[in-house]
Structure 1
Amino acid sequence: MDWLEEKIEGLSKYIRNLSFRKAMIAYILTLAAVVFLISYLTMVLCWQMEAQEWAKYEECDLLEMIYWKESFFGVDYRFEKRTNITDKLRLLQFVRMWCPYFYAFAGMIVTICIFYRKRLALPLKILENSVERIRGNDLDFHVHYDSEDELGSLCDSVEDMRLELVRGKEEMWRLVERQKELNAAFAHDLRTPLTVLRGYTDFLARYIPEGKISEEKMRDTLALMSSHLKRLEDYSRTMKGIRSIDEVPFSPEWVGIRSIERKIGEVVFALNQVGDVKISYEGGFGGNDNGLRIKADDNIIMEVLENLLSNGIRYARREIEVLSDYDGERMEFLLTVRDDGRGFLDEQLEKALEPYHKEYESAETDEHFGIGLHICREFCKKHGGTINVANSIKGGAVVTASFFASIFGENSIDP
């Protein structure tokens, strides 16, 4: 019994997977066979009934019955009797002659209805529902029709189109999110450089009227301000031409450790001129780097520093400590920012680097994007490094960023 059911299922599947052309031929051949069989049986039956009718009157002379007139009623009787016999025979002859055409016409209608119900109704309904849902911008469904015929292939094509629309929608959403992230990053990264410039401006405004700044110091300060403005211009131009943080250019060059430490010190000095938080900086070499040069992108390093300082200033109570060093064994430039604030919540340490994550909610949430550490992670990753967040044993948060940077003269490996 199982074997029979398996064979029937296999035959049903074979018929279901036939192309429309082959299916139509099969339906027409089946219709022709059924029409031929029914017509033959009907014609045989008519022949038998005609023979039986003729047998009843085989001794009668029909011509004589037509013209025999005994009396008015007799003629009427015999004429009616002859007419009944002739009409029945004529009806049987009519059925025998025209039944194939009638069966063919009726069979075509029935065959068309069966073909539509078996092969067209379900896939057309699936396609209609799919188009309606796609038109309604609802892509959370699956198009499937269990057949390998033309409509099955069409349903598969609609499913492929749906998947492409889903991928396109997801890609558009990713682009929107990237643009949103980029805009937030741009707005976030402008704050600290502008604060640095304001620090230099306040420094000059405070001491120039008192005559406490020499002409050389004023020229140096103005030169620093000019360099920061140029970096802001370059950064603005870069952010205008890219679509995501991943596209921020990475341009490592041979640069001295002393040059990087000097830039860090300049930023720290400027930020100390504004705000109530005291920022201290300690370089790993303290000026005794013996001219050590590394291959690094100091713009990215400074962007990470400014983001870390921006977060530190937001949460620090009184002071922030900045440390820098170079790990010769791992060929990494290290940058650490430690504050004396509340630190990270234990359950949120792993989420601190995610975009738009805010450690503490406050009334000023609209001014804090929660994207600074995420930007730092992306920049460190671009520079072949990492970023780690932790809580200090003294209290407060500690963030350490590393940047892969080979040493000039000892290792020429590009980052």
Structure 2
Amino acid sequence: MDWLDAGIARLFAKRSSLDQSLFLYLLIGVLGVAFATLITVSICVSWERLILMPDSEPTYFWAYLTWTPSSTSLPIIQLLELVRQFAVFIYGFLGIFLATKMFYRKRILQPITILEKSIQQIEQGNYQQPVYYNTYDEFEKTSLGLDHLRITLQANEQKLNEMYHDQKKVNAAFSHDLRTPLATIQNNLELLEAYYEQDLLSPEAFEKAAVKIKNSITRLSTFSETMQQLQKLEDRPLHITEQPLALIEENIQELRRQHPDKALLVTKEYPKLTASYDLDLINEVVENLLNNAYRFARKQLTMTITLQEKLLIVYVKDDGPGFSKKELITATEPYYSQNKNGHFGLGLTIAEALTRKHGGNLKIANSIDSGAIVSAVFSITY
């Protein structure tokens, strides 16, 4: 029956729904029943003719009408007639049974088995195996929907892993930087307590310790505000609207006027077009990158805005000292900064979080000649 399966498989290689496939299977079964019935009836008639014909040919027509078969051959003839009468019903039952069985095995059981295995893989957390069933029927639509669900779950898992990793970095950085002000408060309180017990607490010593405690409390308050700010970034919604890309340049010109002492060269490598993106988010990222570059640049900054397929890429380069090896790894971590005079280095951290929210990423590097390069990638549609 392999040849029949192969022929049916070639027949159903074209687009066909389940009802069309069932009709074709039943049609093939009916044709098979008709063919088998015809062959069986032909064989039975041939045997009957051999049995009924007399040994010698009768001469007259009346002899054919009056001739009767012998009593010994009568049961065989009855059996052959019985076979002729019921052959179509027997073959019909077998034909429908085989047709429906082949239909179930090829068009029902196979996709169900594939879908069950795929569901088991998804339940086990394995999102790498694609769900593939290509027969252009209802089960293919179901497999495509299940594969879309797999891809969505895979993306959500990756996003959760990234969020978990980012949260671990935030917690680690927060815990690390939290130790210093807490230790300062504890040490100065112990010092005040020791001076007080020995009656050696002078106004100058008290004021000096109080200032340190006050500064440490201020830092703790700033840490708390920073954590709230980072949390707001996670909850910040995207406001995608269709607008010209040239609107990004208006904010750049405003930043340039705020820093007249350092030159900013802007290169645009994209056609004049309208795209869908979050202008406020991109402007905030660009502002963070430029402010960071202005802070470390000596005389000049260069900025390049380019478009590659559906990715908007912003490069910011300064002529400053650039990043050290350690800074290339930790520059985007919370509270990190080359210069911690009154700030905790959240600019690059915020920029990285916002680019991810807009479907992109943030990369930092050093220029070959000198200076730092930061590139922000945003996913847009146009």
Q: TM-score, normalised by structure 1?
A: 0.50
Instruction: Provide the rounded CA distance (Å) in 2 between the counterparts of 1:201 and 1:13.
Output: 88
Deviation at 1:355, TM superposition (A): 5.2
Taking structure 1 as reference, are residues 335 and 160 closer, same or farther at Cα in structure 2, changes over 3 Å only?
same
Instruction: Provide the rounded CA distance (Å) in 1 between the counterparts of 2:175 and 2:222.
Output: 15
Taking structure 1 as reference, are residues 134 and 180 closer, same or farther at Cα in structure 2, changes over 3 Å only?
same
Which of 134, 159, 163 does residue 147 from structure 2 map onto?
159
For 2:84, give the aligned amino acid: R
Deviation at 1:34, TM superposition (A): 1.9
Instruction: Provide the rounded CA distance (Å) in 2 between the counterparts of 1:123 and 1:169.
Output: 27
CA contact (8 A) 2:337 2:345 kept: yes
Deviation at 1:93, TM superposition (A): 1.0
**Which is further off, 238-247 or 225-234?**
238-247
User: Partner of 1:261 in structure 2?
Assistant: none
Which of 107, 111, 122 does residue 99 from structure 2 map onto?
111
Instruction: Provide the rounded CA distance (Å) in 2 between the counterparts of 1:121 and 1:383.
Output: 52
For 2:328, give the aligned amino acid: L
Q: What stretches of structure 2 of length at least 5 have no aligned partner?
A: 1-5, 56-62, 237-287, 303-316, 353-362, 374-382
Deviation at 1:40, TM superposition (A): 2.3
User: Partner of 1:169 in structure 2?
Assistant: 157
Instruction: Provide the rounded CA distance (Å) in 1 between the counterparts of 2:85 and 2:351.
Output: 94
Instruction: Provide the rounded CA distance (Å) in 2 between the counterparts of 1:383 and 1:135.
Output: 36
Secondary structure class of the residue paired with 1:354: helix
Secondary structure class of the residue paired with 1:30: helix
How big is each residue's C-alpha offset from its partner over 1:192-225, in whole Å with a ceiling of 9 and x where there is no partner? Answer: 333555676688789993748299xx38x74564
Instruction: Provide the rounded CA distance (Å) in 2 between the counterparts of 1:60 and 1:388.
Output: 110
User: Partner of 1:317 in structure 2?
Assistant: none
Deviation at 1:103, TM superposition (A): 0.6
User: Partner of 2:128 in structure 1?
Assistant: 140
User: Partner of 1:50 in structure 2?
Assistant: 48
CA contact (8 A) 2:13 2:135 kept: no
CA contact (8 A) 1:182 1:244 kept: no
Q: What stretches of structure 1 of length at least 5 have no aligned partner?
A: 1-7, 66-80, 249-299, 305-323, 337-343, 358-368, 390-399, 403-415
Which of 21, 39, 42 does residue 41 from structure 1 map onto?
39
Instruction: Provide the rounded CA distance (Å) in 2 between the counterparts of 1:222 and 1:15.
Output: 84
The number of aligned residues is: 273
CA contact (8 A) 2:22 2:100 kept: no
Taking structure 1 as reference, are residues 99 and 329 closer, same or farther at Cα in structure 2, changes over 3 Å only?
closer
User: Partner of 1:26 in structure 2?
Assistant: 24
User: Partner of 1:94 in structure 2?
Assistant: 82
CA contact (8 A) 2:331 2:337 kept: no
CA contact (8 A) 1:182 1:245 kept: no
User: Partner of 1:213 in structure 2?
Assistant: 204
Taking structure 1 as reference, are residues 379 and 370 closer, same or farther at Cα in structure 2, changes over 3 Å only?
closer
How big is each residue's C-alpha offset from its partner over 1:21-62, in whole Å with a ceiling of 9 and x where there is no partner? Answer: 100111111211221222123223322322332223877978
Taking structure 1 as reference, are residues 176 and 126 closer, same or farther at Cα in structure 2, changes over 3 Å only?
same
Taking structure 1 as reference, are residues 146 and 333 closer, same or farther at Cα in structure 2, changes over 3 Å only?
closer
Identity across the alignment (%): 21
Taking structure 1 as reference, are residues 43 and 54 closer, same or farther at Cα in structure 2, changes over 3 Å only?
same
RMSD: 5.3
CA contact (8 A) 2:170 2:334 kept: no
CA contact (8 A) 1:15 1:23 kept: no
Taking structure 1 as reference, are residues 213 and 240 closer, same or farther at Cα in structure 2, changes over 3 Å only?
same
Deviation at 1:98, TM superposition (A): 0.9
For 2:79, give the aligned amino acid: L
Instruction: Provide the rounded CA distance (Å) in 2 between the counterparts of 1:387 and 1:227.
Output: 33
CA contact (8 A) 2:18 2:138 kept: yes
Taking structure 1 as reference, are residues 190 and 153 closer, same or farther at Cα in structure 2, changes over 3 Å only?
same
User: Partner of 2:110 in structure 1?
Assistant: 122
Deviation at 1:102, TM superposition (A): 0.7
Taking structure 1 as reference, are residues 328 and 116 closer, same or farther at Cα in structure 2, changes over 3 Å only?
same
Instruction: Provide the rounded CA distance (Å) in 2 between the counterparts of 1:241 and 1:380.
Output: 14
Between structure 1 and structure 2, the one with the greater Rg is 1
User: Partner of 2:224 in structure 1?
Assistant: 236
User: Partner of 1:179 in structure 2?
Assistant: 167
Instruction: Provide the rounded CA distance (Å) in 2 between the counterparts of 1:333 and 1:50.
Output: 105
